[in-house]
Chain A
Amino acid sequence: MDFGFCLSPSSHVKMDSVDLTTFNRLKETNPDINTCIACGSCTATCTAGNFSEMSFRRILLMLQRGKEDEAKKMIQRCMLCGKCTLVCPRGINIRKILLDITR
């Protein structure tokens, strides 16, 4: 329901108009991200996640929604320790993907 105003800024994402360049570029170089099942193992084990909001699962989600700025801000927390890659049940090379996003 749209009253024309709201108390908090809208988090509405228009999937038709979002900019998915980063996500599409990532998909090309790392096709394994297509196999992600969003189980959250990466987030559960994350060393940086212990101290901050860092979560790879959410980064991927943000990129899929075109929220590049938020994803790039979150990725700064990453310590690149590689635990996420180690526990990923789909064998996704998460460390490489994280590194690629920062390039």
Chain B
Amino acid sequence: MNPQIFHPFVLPFVIGMVFVLTYCVVGLIRVISQLPKEDRKKFWRSLVTPKTAWANVRDLVGDCLLHVKIWKRNPILGYMHSAIAFGWFMIIVIGHIMLFALKPLQGVELEGVQRMLPNFYYPIFYKFFATETPVFAFLMDFFLLMIISGILIAVVKKIHSKIVGVKRVTKFGFADNMIRFALWTIFPFRLLAEKTDKMVFWWIYSIDLCIFMFMLPFTRYMHIPTEALFILLRHAGLKPREPRKGYALAQLYSCPSCGLCIDACPMSVNDKNSGNTSAYFMKKLRNGDKEEAQRIAETCMQCGKCVAVCPVSIESCDIKMSQRETVPYQIHSDHSYLDCTDASNASSSSAPVLYFAGCMTQLTPKIMRAMTQIMTAAGEEFEFLDKDGGVCCGRPMLLSGKTAEAQAMMAKNTEFIKASGATKLVLSCPICYKVFKEEYHLEGVEILHHTQYIDALLKQGKLKVGKNDVNYVYHDPCELGRAFGVYDEPREVLENVGNLRKAKSEKELSICCGGSLGSFNLTQKERDEITENSVADLMFNQPDEIVTACPLCLKTFARKSPVAVKDIAEVVASQLQ
């Protein structure tokens, strides 16, 4: 073959590339074939629906190419990742543009496959084969130096992560460390090869690429090709059904183990528990370590903060839930005793507003009293669904992975609500709110948490409150804030009755109180550590009172808070005029 278009040193790269491409195609077919039929249909449809297709394009460019989410989270890490990933992408693209624009293969006698082959490796080793033009040479050097600057930051991060604002980094095994080393060395060798034009550097550069490609499918760098597929599947609105199949599998491979979730996780206050974070869960599950994955899934509090900070938007909480569902239980619940009880106070009433306090609110009757006061003052016609104790909403049971058993309780509550004829269901507990919103089918019934309800009453002018000069700080309950984005209503309510101070971490970054029903394994001591950390975060601006909107958070904080902890309903009820 013409030495101008071929040299044996390109072979390691070509072999590696063929391997990676084959693996990706096989993986793609595997993931799509594992999707349940209806999910697959949904997926195909989402690709041609304009709305989801646009979201796909936006996120493919924004997340895969420009890494917008990492920039938002931490600009230094954003630059580090963009420099390497976007820079690498650009030198490949410019290489192809050169091949197209400069036509270096013109006039070379080639046939069939031989004609195709150079397209494959030419842009990667362009400097070896081609004469160049100043514009392209400048661009190529610019992006190569950008990549190397990114690698320098990565080296600094590896040596001392606190410099780039990361407290804890993921601990990697042998393969992940090795491929990282291969990645870091690719570009300095490319620079050396291009600048010295010595054969030995061209060989090392090509072999380095080969090592990287052969290790890619078995390490965290598999997120590079998989993330694109994951974005498409995510926008199709799928839910993981099995922890290691289909959609969940795509997520497992999309996790870059970057470890941003480790610092974010409330459990990380205890160093021992930082190993129970999502990054490690995904790794364990991907490696098939079911026992460990199960243990971590059951330790997780399901607060959703890891999902909120994840630069890839991996829904690790959902995968943990599907992992919990795999446990075979020996004894199944039997709630048939509910059939012969009339647990509802509401079935005979015709009030338009139905108030469901929920189990946790039954333990904090002051919230129930405050709500009664508020609704009476607003002149609302209302009825209790569970004045003397009701049926659990079903979310705690769902959290244990016992879906069928939870359905039985949910059916009972649905029956009560439908029988009451109410059009508005007001809940005091965000745990209930989440399950009522997501799992219940209550057509024609508006489901409101009491923060939203009180906010609406104030805005409609049905409720008059006076303002005092107490400084409040508001804690966002996980299942109200992160799950449904109810951030503004409670804050607007509090601004009506007093002064609102900011916590250190707010809204989607709010720290779980530590009482969460999501976790089964955490001991009281471990929970207390989380609570103390969360209280310290809330006390950042020295408020006079901590206000929350969840009875469970209220009870949990009350044990550890130096100031009074109140529910938002109590605060409003005390300021009624």
Q: How many A-B Cβ pairs are below 8 Å?
A: 88
CA distance A99 to B328 in the complex (A): 11
Task: Let me know if B69 is at the binding interface, CB within 8 A.
Answer: no
Q: Which of B4-12, B100-108, B250-258, B390-398 participates in binding chain A?
A: B390-398
Task: Let me know if A21 is at the binding interface, CB within 8 A.
Answer: no
Verify B334–A77 contact, CB threshold 8 A.
Answer: yes
| A45: chain B residues within 8 A (beta carbon) | 362-363
Candidates B335, B523, B555; contact of A79 at CB < 8 Å: B335
Verify A77–B327 contact, CB threshold 8 A.
Answer: no
From A51, which residue of chain B is reached at the shortest CB distance?
Answer: B341
Verify B359–A76 contact, CB threshold 8 A.
Answer: no
CA distance A75 to B523 in the complex (A): 22
CA distance A101 to B521 in the complex (A): 14
Task: Let me know if A27 is at the binding interface, CB within 8 A.
Answer: no
From A96, which residue of chain B is reached at the shortest CB distance?
Answer: B520
| B51: chain A residues within 8 A (beta carbon) | none
Known contacts A76-B334, A80-B397, A82-B396; is-contact A93 B362 (Cβ 8 Å): no
Verify B334–A79 contact, CB threshold 8 A.
Answer: no
Interface centre among B327, B359, B552 (most CB of A within 10 A): B359
**A60-93 interface with B by 8 A CB criterion:** 72, 75-83, 86-87, 91, 93
How many chain B residues touch A (Cβ–Cβ < 8 Å)? 36
Verify A47–B389 contact, CB threshold 8 A.
Answer: yes
**B400-436 interface with A by 8 A CB criterion:** 400, 402, 409
Task: Let me know if A24 is at the binding interface, CB within 8 A.
Answer: no
What is the predominant secondary structure among interface residues of chain B facing chain A? loop
Task: Let me know if A103 is at the binding interface, CB within 8 A.
Answer: yes
Task: Let me know if A102 is at the binding interface, CB within 8 A.
Answer: yes
Known contacts A80-B397, A86-B363, A86-B555; is-contact A93 B520 (Cβ 8 Å): yes
Task: Let me know if B195 is at the binding interface, CB within 8 A.
Answer: no
How many whole Å from A92's CB to the nearest CB in chain B?
8
From B515, which residue of chain A is reached at the shortest CB distance?
Answer: A86
Verify A81–B520 contact, CB threshold 8 A.
Answer: no
| A96: chain B residues within 8 A (beta carbon) | 520-521
Task: Let me know if B2 is at the binding interface, CB within 8 A.
Answer: no
Verify B359–A83 contact, CB threshold 8 A.
Answer: yes
**B486-538 interface with A by 8 A CB criterion:** 515, 517, 520-524
How many whole Å from A30's CB to the nearest CB in chain B?
10
Verify A99–B520 contact, CB threshold 8 A.
Answer: yes
From A88, which residue of chain B is reached at the shortest CB distance?
Answer: B524
Verify A51–B515 contact, CB threshold 8 A.
Answer: no
Task: Let me know if B37 is at the binding interface, CB within 8 A.
Answer: no
| B337: chain A residues within 8 A (beta carbon) | 51-52, 77
Candidates A32, A51, A103; contact of B338 at CB < 8 Å: A51
Candidates B330, B388, B400; contact of A80 at CB < 8 Å: B400
CA distance A87 to B555 in the complex (A): 10
Candidates B327, B390, B517; contact of A82 at CB < 8 Å: B517
Verify A83–B360 contact, CB threshold 8 A.
Answer: yes
How many whole Å from B345's CB to the nearest CB in chain A?
13
Task: Let me know if B48 is at the binding interface, CB within 8 A.
Answer: no
How many whole Å from B362's CB to the nearest CB in chain A?
7
From B522, which residue of chain A is reached at the shortest CB distance?
Answer: A93
**A4-59 interface with B by 8 A CB criterion:** 32, 45, 47-48, 50-52
How many whole Å from B145's CB to the nearest CB in chain A?
55
From B517, which residue of chain A is reached at the shortest CB distance?
Answer: A82
From A45, which residue of chain B is reached at the shortest CB distance?
Answer: B363
Verify A87–B363 contact, CB threshold 8 A.
Answer: yes
Verify A50–B389 contact, CB threshold 8 A.
Answer: yes
Verify B396–A81 contact, CB threshold 8 A.
Answer: yes
| A47: chain B residues within 8 A (beta carbon) | 359, 362, 389-392
Verify A51–B343 contact, CB threshold 8 A.
Answer: yes
| B389: chain A residues within 8 A (beta carbon) | 47, 50
Known contacts A72-B331, A102-B331, A103-B329; is-contact A83 B362 (Cβ 8 Å): yes
| B523: chain A residues within 8 A (beta carbon) | 32, 91, 93
Can you list 22 contacts pairing A with B, beta carbon distance less than 8 Å?
A: A47-B390, A48-B392, A51-B337, A51-B341, A51-B343, A72-B331, A76-B332, A79-B359, A80-B396, A82-B517, A83-B359, A83-B360, A83-B362, A86-B515, A91-B523, A93-B524, A95-B520, A96-B520, A99-B520, A102-B330, A102-B331, A103-B329
List 4 tightest A-B contacts by C-beta distance, closest first.
A91-B524, A79-B392, A76-B334, A102-B331
